[in-house]
């Protein structure tokens, strides 16, 4: 009989391969034993429950994209409130987009976010440097960043500079690829978006209700095709963030079939909502880029979750206040993009996917924990319940029923795009590096207890 600090007893332990009933032994911050006989100083019963590796949401926005001024609206969560939202949603690791402020180097931007996260984050995290200016200085900084464990680079194909400075961007991507850095791309073509915007503006159609029309699926298709061609040209691992349409999915699927190191993320909103929501009077609440699509697109995304075309589901948590989203002065060009979803992402996917039989439990685990860990250099420390891995566990009650109400959320965003939706299945107890941070749905985690994770060279 092995004596350990904490035993999670009798749950159905799930991995990307399958599930089996076992006790889990935790000593300090690590899992030391799965199965066999165990005795714990503390014990948690997980009988009748599912024990999943903690969720890994690799795409969130918990730090500001620019210096905040009292008059400007900004995202309302920080690393602390965002961590609490993550925990409530069964997530124990997040990946934050780190935007350089004007004049910042990548190192300066990362240093600022690292300090804030060190003070505030209550779960573990990685940071993705965003490359807006592919200057020689920025390119030369990439190998050292990779060496330190920053093995991602985010690029916006929406930026005008992506076209005007394409050679510099290609050089940066080539350097990234040589150093085992995964290149994250926002795939909507900036030049085409500009042309559409000019047309609509000339016609006087600038109302925010034109938002979906201003960013059509073929503009996403063009950009993701270019991302695939870049991956092939430079032999670069490329990861398309928040893929939203059937057209774009088909491009991603074809790239995989050709054996390219091309990876696809989708965002939960596209699975559960359509552009109809954008046309309602409160439509601006649902604005994100790319915009919500049609029923056929959602159907294509569900199929892509099943057949492996989609590698990960990430929330793209971008928390605004309702007041900021519904600001009457906004038009389709200035609309505030993004929605809060850290807390609802996994329960919605579980309820709509696993409970309905569209996703197996192991596929769910793969999409929200195992695959993100593998792609982002965290495996096998994260993403799996095995001896030696961090003790990051989410104990789910698959029968727990509740109604989504933003007023009860940990996030400071004061509305949810799923307000009023009924959900079946929720994390009830969450353990982060051996510490119980949610118990019976009550979150309690100390500010600053999260640690930054250096990514290993990715295993794909």
Q: Give the binding site for Zn ion (CB under 5 A).
A: 316
Of 316 and 343, which has the nearer Cβ to Zn ion?
316
Q: Write out 213-276 in H/E/C secondary structure.
A: HHCCHHHHHHHHHHHHHHHHHHCCCEEECCCCCHHHHHHHHHHHHCCCCEEEEECCHHHHCCCH
Q: How far is the CB of 163 from Zn ion (least distance, A)?
A: 21
Q: In angstroms, what is the minimal distance from the CB of 5 to Zn ion?
A: 37
C-alpha–C-alpha distance, residues 316 and 149, integer Å: 22
Q: Which of 458, 453, 455 is nearest to 117 (CA)?
A: 453
Give the separation between CA 348 and CA 124, rounded to whole angstroms. 23
For the CB of residue 25, give the shortest distance to Zn ion in the complex, in Å. Answer: 38
Q: Is beta strand 2-14 parallel, antiparallel or unpaired with respect to 38-45?
A: parallel
Nearest distance from C-beta of residue 376 to Zn ion, angstroms: 15
Residue 25 or 129 having the CB closest to Zn ion: 129
Going from the C-alpha of 344 to that of each of 42, 259, 269, 416, the distances in angstroms are 30, 33, 10, 8
- What are the Cα distances from residue 324, in Å, to 3, 96, 321, 409, 418? 53, 22, 5, 18, 18
C-beta closer to Zn ion: residue 316 or 397: 316
Residue 418: closest CA among 244, 266, 292: 292
> Residue with the closest Cβ to Zn ion?
316
Cβ nearer to Zn ion, comparing 316 with 392: 316
Token pair recorded at residue 187: 């795939």
Q: Which is nearer to Zn ion, 267 or 421 (CB)?
A: 267
Residue nearer to Zn ion on the CB measure, 245 or 389: 245
Query: Smallest distance, Å, CB 97 to Zn ion?
Result: 6
- Least Å distance, CB 394 to Zn ion, is 23
State the nearest-atom distance from the C-beta of 126 to Zn ion, in Å.
14
Give me the least distance between CB of 95 and Zn ion, in Å please.
Answer: 10
| Alpha-carbon dihedral sign for residues 239, 146, 83, 102 | negative
CB crowding 258-297: b at 16 or more within 10 Å, else e:
eebbbbbbbbbbbbbbbbebbeeeebbbbbbbbbbbeeeb
- The nearer residue to Zn ion, 193 or 385, going by C-beta atoms, is 193
Q: Output 120 or 316, the one with its CB closest to Zn ion.
A: 316
- CB nearer Zn ion, residue 130 or residue 349: 130
Count how many residues are written for the chain: 460
| DSSP codes of every residue in 398-431 | EEEEEE--GGG-SSS-S--TTTT-EEEEEEEEEE
Smallest gap from residue 242 Cβ to Zn ion (A): 7
């Amino acid at each position: 009989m092995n004596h350990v600090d904490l035993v999670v007893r009798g749950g159905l332990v799930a991995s990307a391969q399958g599930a089996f009933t076992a006790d889990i032994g935790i000593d300090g911050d690590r899992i030391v034993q799965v199965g066999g006989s165990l005795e714990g100083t503390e014990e948690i019963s997980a009988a009748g429950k599912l024990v999943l590796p903690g969720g890994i949401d690799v795409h969130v926005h918990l730090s500001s994209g620019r210096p905040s001024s009292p008059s400007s609206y900004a995202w309302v969560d920080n690393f602390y409130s965002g961590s609490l939202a993550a925990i409530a949603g069964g997530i124990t690791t997040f990946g934050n987009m780190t935007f350089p402020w004007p004049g910042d180097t990548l190192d300066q931007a990362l240093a600022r976010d690292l300090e804030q996260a060190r003070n505030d984050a209550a779960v573990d995290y990685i940071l993705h440097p965003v490359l807006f200016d592919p200057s020689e200085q920025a390119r030369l900084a990439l190998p050292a960043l990779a060496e330190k464990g920053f093995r991602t680079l985010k690029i916006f194909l929406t930026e005008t500079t992506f076209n005007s400075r394409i050679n510099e961007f290609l050089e940066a991507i080539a350097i990234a690829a040589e150093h085992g850095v995964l290149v994250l791309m926002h795939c909507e073509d900036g030049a085409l978006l500009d042309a559409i915007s000019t047309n609509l503006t000339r016609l006087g159609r600038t109302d925010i209700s034109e938002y979906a029309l201003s960013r059509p699926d073929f503009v996403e298709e063009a950009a993701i095709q270019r991302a695939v061609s870049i991956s092939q040209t430079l032999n670069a691992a490329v990861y398309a963030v928040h893929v939203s349409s059937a057209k774009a999915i088909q491009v991603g699927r074809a790239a995989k079939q050709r054996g390219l190191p091309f990876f696809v993320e989708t965002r939960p909103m596209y699975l559960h909502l359509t552009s109809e929501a954008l046309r309602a009077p409160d439509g601006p609440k649902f604005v994100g880029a790319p915009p919500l699509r049609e029923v056929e697109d959602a159907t294509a995304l569900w199929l892509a979750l099943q057949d492996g075309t989609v590698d990960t589901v990430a929330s793209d948590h971008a928390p605004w206040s309702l007041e900021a989203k519904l600001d009457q002065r906004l038009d389709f060009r200035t609309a505030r993009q993004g929605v809060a979803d850290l807390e609802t992402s996994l329960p919605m996917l579980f309820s709509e996917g696993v409970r309905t039989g569209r996703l197996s439990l192991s596929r769910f685990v793969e999409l929200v924990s195992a695959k993100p860990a593998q792609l982002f250099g965290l495996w096998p420390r994260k993403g799996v319940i095995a001896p030696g891995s961090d003790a990051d566990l989410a104990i789910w009650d698959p029968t727990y029923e509740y109604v989504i109400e933003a007023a009860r959320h940990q996030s400071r965003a004061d509305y949810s795009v799923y307000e009023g939706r009924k959900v079946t299945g929720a994390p009830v107890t969450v353990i982060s590096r051996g510490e119980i941070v949610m118990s019976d749905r009550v979150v309690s985690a100390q500010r600053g207890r999260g640690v930054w994770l250096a990514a290993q060279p990715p295993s794909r």
